[in-house]
Structure formats: structure tokens, C-alpha cells
């Protein structure tokens, strides 16, 4: 059925076709319509079986996928869809938010898939094999991967073996550039906190253009194109002989992944490496860094942070720098297993080739795989070859590299004003700064907080906003885990009376320590925030936004504006420029909420730490002093929240009267013996609770370059405020730019010679 150059690329022992309605080519890591062995195998099989051929592409939209990866994939999908349609080949593209469902192949006569040895795709292969005959085809390596034998001795052994292999050179096929007119819309279910890389667009047309203009001696700028199959390795090897040895290195990575179920995990290391790394786990670490500190280049190591910034903004780590950069994680981690796990998460999240075999194998190689023990034993590494970022200072123009790494992938940075420094505003600002933009935040309050506001009265602290929050969405969970590691968060184990026992109530109740507002302060770390500034006017003047305060003084001009306030305030600011956006905001229904803060010299003697009440004026009572790391001053501090109905009826009452009424309700509701508080005050939230959310993650007007966000877009929870803010930031990060920066790392001349 198949000619020799295709037959040797099909996995040996492939099952025979069966009766079915079509041949399906399941396109995943060879997303191109030229020099594609998997596509050619599917075409031959369809002709031989006299069945129609359908090319199936699936774009994942789960919370673990981000804007960067999805944009790159979609650009490739749309181009190959156009090219296949021009050849008369049916192409089906599907978005998938849930786990892969192989049942769609149940009626196929044969499923042909391009193979990759990474764990996630191999798991999908196993699911497909259970419902249909599956032919896995190697469309990515020069020598078919099925010929590979385990290379435990490293590169020299692999190259020696490779030189003895005989294989059919894949026939040359000319590439024809494709103009894709059909666009795509990013799913709102993905992680919006990672921006697209504008200078590295997906698709074979951009891949071939990048390759033909490429003058470097490393594959990093081409790695994502090779990983997703937008660029043919056969063309690269045929027309660029100087890159041949690098393609051989790439095939070594494929070989390594083929023979390890979890190639970037600690278990993939040789026994001697695992043993020596375990022995040095007891070496004293000066600091253990969280995922956020690493991801956002906040380690304090100038060279490491510059490389991390390149990854954060531009989606790659140059190959000559990656090994040293990965090794530097070990002294900042408890164990080598933890360091490798963090490395996989960092590269998997931010690198365009984060799930490539070269990435998985590269992590293992940095920690001793395919190497021999070093004669020199060093702290943390034992006899695994160590390295330091100080070595890179000799070969890297650090200042210039850092400057390029900070420059946005779109070219020039945007100037952005964010009005409101609560959770949503802070998340939007952080998402934009991570992409290299210049952001200024304005908040009329005295300090950060918003939904997580904390009132300070001398040594007393009262969490007048959310008493705690829970985490349900993985897009927010990864940051919550980092804050937990930094001890910004802790679990509140308080007993809540009246809590309905359901799945939501079983979630861990998280609180900021020593107060709720530290979570927002952590998000705002290093950002330009101006508190006590009331933005009274937001007007569009040509191509820029002009901000004015209540006294008519200018607060500056900005290209983009983000309004992250409560809806009533947001509609006032937006209305003069966009009646349409203001009308949408006015659809939101909010409820007011009175909050009373009281500190008692003696405990109230209640058997619980929080109460949910459905009768009387109170709806929620919380013993603030029962939360972890609150000041130990003697007595108890309480925060009382009135119900929405009572608050609405008494919205304009004097706060002294409100405090007196709610104190009486405290004694009546709990039965506790009344006592005069040492401290008593009340705070009015005009928009304390969302009764009818907008139902979308944020609002965005591309023509005005204006975004509006807040928890009220999705609900009332802290997590929803965070997701709304990152969604607003994503709309801005998607804006294309002009001049795009070069991504070749500036190196001293002797380093270029070393590469050659």
C-alpha cells in the first residue's frame, strides 16, 4: 500500500484497517500541507481503501492552555486549513475544553496520526487505539523514530549509531506560501495572563520566512515551528547543512523521550545522578523561591532574571543559555525533583516549544541525564556537572540582553492607565507589565485592597471585604500556590456555623497574612501605583486617553485605558466616550453592604468563628482575630456584615446608628453576653455584592482601546476578579505592533566561535 519512504515512517506492528466510513488524519505536531509524511500516508491509505479522507485538528481550550500557545497554534491551524482546502482535502477544526474524547474516531476505517513521544500526546494515542486502528507516523525526525535504539551513553554514542543507519531521504516538495483570510477568536476559558508573541507568528509561511532569514547557529528561534510541524525538518536539513548537527541533537532528545514515560521527571535520571542529588538535598539553601518569583524574574540574579524575562515576554530561552539557566533552579529548590518540576512548569507555561521533546529532554540533561559523573563534587549538585550564571557574564552582553528581553514582542510598549487598584486592576496591570508595557495605576483609596480591603486602626486589623476566598480555577490556583509558598496565604480553619455542607464548603478557606490586602500588595509589587488619586474624568483625545482629577488637573495621557472600579463608577467614567459600554455596565445589579468592626476586651465565648445568618439584619459574622497571624492583643476582633436588604433600607443612615443597631443584632443573634466594645466603627460598601453579573469576563472596545473589568463581570468572588483582570489585560496584549525586535541574544565574538 505504501512506498518505502512512507512505509518506514509508520510504527511497526500497526493494525490493519477495518470497515469504516473514512480515513482520518489526526493532525497534531505536523501542521503543514507540504513534506508531511503523515498526510502522505493518509492520502495513500484513503486511495487504497477507496475511502474519503478527512483531516482533523483539535485546539485545546482548557485552563492549562494560554493565549500565547493558543494564538500560535490557531495561526498554524488556519493556514494549513486553507492550504488543504485548496488541494480539495476536507479539514475539520474543533475546539476542546474538556479532556480528549476518542469516541469521535469510533466509525473510522483508519486513523493516521503524526507521532510525538511527549507524555500527554502518548496518552491520547492510547485512548485512540482503544476505539480505532491507529497508524502513528513519524513526520518530525530525519531518521524515522522507530529505528531509534536507547542511547544511554549520550550524544557521541547516538551520533555513532546514527551514522550507521540507512534510510530513505524524504522526497523534496516545494513550499507555496499561503494567504489566510479566515481569522480566529481566542477562547475565554484559557489562561489570559500569558501574552502572545507577536514577532513569532504560527504557520508555515512565517516559519519558512524565519528560517530563510535566519543566520544563527542554534535552533531556538525555529524550535516552536519544528515542534508544531509548521516547518519541515527535511527542508531545513536539505538546504541548510550547517544546521544538520543541531537537528541530530534534536533527534537525540526524541530518542530520550521515546524511552522514558516521564522524560522531564526526576525518575528519568540515571541512578548515579539520582543518588548524588538526593545526598545533597541536605545542603543549606540560602533561599527557596516561589513559582511567581521565578516566573516574573524576581530572583535578584541579574543574568538569570534577564533570561527569565526573555522567556516571560518572548516565549523562548536561547539554547546556549538554557542549560545554565535550568541548573540555577537547584539551589532555590528543596530537591532536584522539585527543581525539575518547576522547570517543566515554567517552560511548559511560557515557552512556545514548552511541550516539545527537546524541552523535556533538555530539563533531564541539565540534571545529569546522558552524562557521566563529574570528577568534581560540588554543593547541591554532587557529581552532576554544575554551572553558574556568573559563567554567562563572560560571554553575554548582559545589559543589552536585558534591554531586549524587556522590550515587548510587539515592538514598542503601550502606555496604559489602569483606574482601580483592587484585585481586577492589579491582575490587569500585572498581565500587561509581564508583556513589557508601561502601566500606571490610579486608586482614590489610601491603600490597595478592593474586594480584599483591610482596615487598620492602630494595632487592630479588620478584613472589611471578603473574609476569606477559595480557589476553584487552575488559572488562579497556580498563583495561589506561589503565594502560599511565600507565606502570603494561609488556611483559615475556623468553624463556620450555618455553612451548608456541599462541595464548595469543603474547599480550603484562604486568607492573606497578616491581613487580606497583602494578596493585592503582592500583585502590585514593583508596579507604578498612585494612591489617593481620584480620576474624575476619562476622555478620548484623538488616539490617546486623557485623565483628569477632581480639581481639573491632568493626570497624563495614555494610549490604552482600563477601568477596574465598581460598576456605578465605571459607567460614569466610560459614558462620555462609549454609551454602548456604559449601557452594558448598567445591566449589572449590585447590592450594598454595611460592615461593622468591633474589638472586645474579653472573648464572647462563642463555639464558632463565623456565622451565616438568614434572619435579622445580619448575614455574616466573622471572628477576625481567629484567622492566622492576626495581632494577639487580648480579647477578640469581629467583623459583622449586614444583609443586602437591610443595608439597602438603611443605606443613608449615619454609621454610628448602623453600628449600634448591628451590635444589638449581634447579641440577639448569638445569645452572647453583651459588653461594650473597645473599638467600634462602620463602613459602607455601596457595591458590596454582585446580584446580577454581566456574564462575560470583561468588556473591550478595540476602536477606543478601552477595557472594563471587575469581579462583577463574572460574579463576586476574588478568583473572578482576578480572571476578569487578566482577560482585560489579554485584550490589550493581543494588539499588534509595528517594528518587531530581533530575538538573537547579543553575544561577544568569542562566544560565536565557541558555538561554531
Do β-strands 589-600 and 706-708 pair in parallel, antiparallel, or remain unpaired? Answer: unpaired
> What span, in angstroms and rounded, lies between the C-alpha atoms of 318 and 88?
40
pLDDT tens digit string along 292-338? 999 999 999 999 999 999 999 999 998 889 999 999 999 999 999 99
For 718, phi then psi, to 5°, come to -60, -45
Give me the pLDDT at residue 740, please. 42
Of 102-106, 172-176, 598-602, 750-754, the least confident: 750-754
Do β-strands 438-443 and 528-531 pair in parallel, antiparallel, or remain unpaired? Answer: parallel
Sign of dihedral through CA atoms 637, 643, 644, 647? negative
Q: Which three cell numbers stand for residue 284?
A: 543549606
Q: Is the pLDDT of residue 67 over 80?
A: yes
Which single residue is written with the C-alpha cell 443584632? 665
Omega cis (within 30) before 514: yes
Please, are residues 55 and 84 in contact by the beta-carbon 8 Å criterion?
yes
Averaged pLDDT score across all residues of the chain: 91
The 3-state secondary structure of 694-751 reads CCCCCEEECCCCEEECCHHHCCCCHHHHHHHHHHHHHHHHCCCCCCCCCCCCCECHHH
pLDDT tens digit string along 738-753? 544 444 444 433 323 2
407: CB partners within 8 A, 6+ apart = 313, 413, 436, 741
Sign of dihedral through CA atoms 331, 337, 338, 339? positive
Please, are residues 286 and 331 in contact by the beta-carbon 8 Å criterion?
yes
Q: Which three cell numbers stand for residue 79?
A: 493556514
Burial of 503 (0-12, 13-18, 19+ CB in 10 A): exposed
Interaxial angle between packed helices 319-327 and 302-314, expressed in degrees from 0 to 180 and rounded to the nearest 10: 120
Q: Which three cell numbers stand for residue 367?
A: 540534571
- 261: left (phi > 0), else alpha (psi -120 to 50), else beta? alpha
> What span, in angstroms and rounded, lies between the C-alpha atoms of 226 and 30?
8
pLDDT tens digit string along 349-369? 999 999 999 999 999 999 999
Which of the listed ranges 205-219, 390-404, 406-420 does the model predict with the highest average pLDDT?
A: 406-420
**Structural domains of the chain, ranges and CATH numbers in brackets:** 1-259 (3.40.50.620), 261-408 (1.10.579.10)
Q: Which three cell numbers stand for residue 592?
A: 450594598
Cα distance from N-terminal residue to C-terminal residue, the chain: 44
Do β-strands 90-96 and 53-60 pair in parallel, antiparallel, or remain unpaired? Answer: parallel
Question: What average pLDDT does range 474-498 have in this prediction?
Answer: 95
Which single residue is written with the C-alpha cell 477606543? 704
Alpha-carbon distances of 723 from 66, 115, 492, 735, rounded to whole Å:
13, 35, 23, 19
Of 240-244, 496-500, 564-568, the least confident: 240-244
The 8-class DSSP code of residue 168 comes to P
Of 12-21, 385-394, 696-705, the least confident: 385-394
Strand, helix or coil at 103?
helix
Q: Which three cell numbers stand for residue 539?
A: 476622555
Sign of dihedral through CA atoms 155, 157, 160, 165? negative
pTM of the model: 0.92
Q: Is the pLDDT of residue 26 over 60?
A: yes
How many separate helices (H) and strands (E) can be counted in the chain? 25, 24
> What span, in angstroms and rounded, lies between the C-alpha atoms of 10 and 4?
10
Q: Is the pLDDT of residue 16 over 60?
A: yes
Give ∠ CA 443-445-450 in degrees, rounded to 5: 80
Give me the pLDDT at residue 150, please. 65
pLDDT tens digit string along 515-529? 999 999 999 999 999
Q: Is the pLDDT of residue 63 over 80?
A: no
Widest distance between CA atoms in the chain: 92
pLDDT-based confidence at residue 184 (cuts at 50, 70, 90): low
Nearest alpha-carbon partner for 107 in 201, 18, 1, 227: 18
Give me the pLDDT at residue 363, please. 97
pLDDT-based confidence at residue 66 (cuts at 50, 70, 90): very high
Strand, helix or coil at 597?
strand
Of 98-107, 196-205, 216-225, 565-574, the least confident: 216-225
Please, are residues 680 and 655 in contact by the beta-carbon 8 Å criterion?
no
723: CB partners within 8 A, 6+ apart = 192, 427, 473, 475, 476, 697, 714
Give me the pLDDT at residue 181, please. 60
Q: Which three cell numbers stand for residue 729?
A: 489585560
pLDDT tens digit string along 235-249? 888 888 777 777 888
The 8-class DSSP code of residue 276 comes to H
Amino acid at each position: 500500500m505504501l512506498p518505502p519512504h512512507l512505509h518506514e515512517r509508520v510504527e511497526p506492528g500497526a493494525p490493519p484497517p477495518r470497515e469504516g466510513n473514512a480515513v482520518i488524519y489526526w493532525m497534531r505536531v505536523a501542521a503543514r500541507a507540504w513534506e508531511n509524511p503523515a498526510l502522505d500516508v493518509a492520502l495513500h491509505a484513503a486511495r487504497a481503501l477507496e475511502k474519503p479522507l478527512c483531516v482533523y485538528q483539535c485546539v485545546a481550550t482548557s485552563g492549562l492552555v494560554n493565549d500565547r500557545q493558543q494564538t500560535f497554534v490557531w495561526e498554524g491551524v488556519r493556514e494549513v486549513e486553507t492550504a488543504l482546502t485548496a488541494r480539495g482535502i476536507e479539514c475539520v477544526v474543533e475546539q476542546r475544553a474538556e479532556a480528549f474524547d476518542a469516541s469521535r474516531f469510533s466509525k473510522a476505517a483508519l486513523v493516521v496520526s503524526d507521532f510525538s513521544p511527549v507524555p500527554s500526546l502518548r496518552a491520547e494515542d492510547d485512548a485512540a487505539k482503544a476505539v480505532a486502528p491507529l497508524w502513528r507516523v513519524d513526520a518530525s525526525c530525519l531518521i524515522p523514530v522507530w529505528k531509534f535504539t536507547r542511547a544511554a551513553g549520550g550524544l557521541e554514542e547516538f551520533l555513532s549509531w546514527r551514522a550507521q543507519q540507512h534510510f530513505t531521504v524524504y522526497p523534496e516538495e516545494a513550499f507555496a506560501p499561503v494567504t489566510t483570510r479566515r481569522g480566529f477568536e481566542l477562547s475565554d476559558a484559557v489562561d489570559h495572563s500569558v501574552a502572545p508573541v507577536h514577532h513569532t507568528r504560527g504557520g508555515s509561511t512565517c516559519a519558512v520566512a524565519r528560517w530563510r532569514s535566519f543566520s544563527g547557529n542554534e535552533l531556538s528561534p525555529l524550535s516552536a515551528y519544528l515542534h508544531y510541524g509548521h516547518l519541515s525538518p527535511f527542508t531545513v536539513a536539505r538546504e541548510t547543512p550547517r544546521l544538520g548537527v543541531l537537528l541530530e541533537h534534536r533527534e537525540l532528545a526524541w530518542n530520550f523521550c521515546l524511552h522514558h514515560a516521564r522524560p522531564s521527571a526526576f525518575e528519568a535520571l540515571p541512578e548515579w545522578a539520582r543518588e548524588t542529588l538526593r545526598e545533597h538535598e541536605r545542603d543549606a539553601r540560602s533561599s527557596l523561591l516561589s513559582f511567581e518569583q521565578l516566573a516574573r524574574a524576581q530572583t535578584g540574579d541579574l543574568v538569570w532574571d534577564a533570561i527569565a524575562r526573555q522567556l516571560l515576554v518572548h516565549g523562548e530561552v536561547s539554547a546556549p543559555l538554557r542549560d545554565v539557566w535550568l541548573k540555577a533552579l537547584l539551589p532555590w529548590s528543596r530537591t532536584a525533583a522539585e527543581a525539575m518540576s518547576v522547570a517543566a512548569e515554567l517552560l511548559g507555561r511560557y515557552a512556545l516549544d514548552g511541550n516539545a521533546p527537546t524541552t523535556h529532554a533538555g530539563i533531564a540533561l541539565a540534571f545529569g541525564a546522558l552524562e557521566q559523573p563529574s570528577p568534581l563534587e560540588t554543593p547541591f549538585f554532587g557529581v552532576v556537572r554544575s554551572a553558574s550564571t556568573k559563567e554567562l557574564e563572560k560571554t553575554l552582553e548582559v545589559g543589552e540582553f536585558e534591554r531586549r528581553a524587556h522590550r515587548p514582542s510587539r515592538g514598542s510598549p503601550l502606555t496604559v492607565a489602569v483606574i482601580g487598584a483592587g484585585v481586577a486592576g492589579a491582575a490587569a496591570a500585572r498581565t500587561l507589565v509581564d508583556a513589557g508595557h508601561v502601566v500606571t495605576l490610579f486608586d482614590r483609596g489610601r491603600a490597595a485592597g478592593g474586594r480584599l480591603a483591610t482596615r487598620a486602626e492602630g494595632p487592630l486589623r479588620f478584613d472589611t471585604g471578603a473574609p476569606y476566598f477559595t480557589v476553584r480555577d487552575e488559572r488562579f490556583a497556580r498563583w495561589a500556590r506561589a503565594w502560599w509558598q511565600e507565606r502570603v496565604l494561609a488556611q483559615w480553619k475556623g468553624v463556620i456555623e450555618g455553612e451548608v455542607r456541599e462541595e464548595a464548603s469543603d474547599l480550603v478557606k484562604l486568607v492573606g497574612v497578616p491581613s487580606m490586602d497583602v494578596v493585592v500588595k503582592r500583585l502590585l509589587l514593583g508596579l507604578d501605583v498612585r494612591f489617593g488619586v481620584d480620576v474624575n474624568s476619562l476622555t478620548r483625545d484623538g488616539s490617546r486617553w486623557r485623565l483628569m482629577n477632581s480639581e481639573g488637573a491632568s493626570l497624563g495621557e495614555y494610549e490604552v485605558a482600563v477601568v477596574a472600579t465598581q460598576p456605578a463608577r465605571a459607567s460614569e467614567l466610560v459614558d462620555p466616550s462609549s454609551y454602548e459600554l456604559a449601557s452594558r455596565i448598567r445591566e449589572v445589579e449590585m447590592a450594598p453592604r454595611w460592615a461593622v468592626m468591633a474589638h472586645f476586651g474579653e472573648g464572647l465565648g462563642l463555639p464558632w468563628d463565623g456565622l451565616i445568618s438568614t434572619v435579622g439584619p445580619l448575614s455574616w459574622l466573622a471572628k477576625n482575630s481567629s484567622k492566622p497571624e492576626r495581632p494577639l492583643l487580648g480579647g477578640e476582633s469581629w467583623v459583622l456584615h449586614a444583609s443586602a436588604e437591610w443595608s439597602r433600607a438603611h443605606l443613608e443612615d449615619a454609621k454610628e446608628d448602623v453600628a449600634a443597631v448591628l451590635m444589638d443584632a449581634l447579641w440577639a443573634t448569638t445569645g452572647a453576653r453583651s459588653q461594650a466594645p473597645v473599638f467600634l466603627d462602620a463602613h459602607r460598601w455601596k457595591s458590596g455584592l454582585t446580584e446580577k453579573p454581566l456574564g462575560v469576563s470583561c468588556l473591550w472596545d478595540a476602536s477606543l482601546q478601552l477595557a472594563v473589568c471587575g469581579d462583577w463581570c463574572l460574579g463576586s468572588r476574588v478568583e473572578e476578579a482576578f480572571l476578569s483582570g487578566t482577560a482585560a489585560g489579554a485584550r490589550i496584549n493581543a494588539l499588534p505592533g509595528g517594528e518587531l525586535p530581533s530575538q538573537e541574544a547579543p553575544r561577544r565574538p568569542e562566544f560565536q566561535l565557541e558555538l561554531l
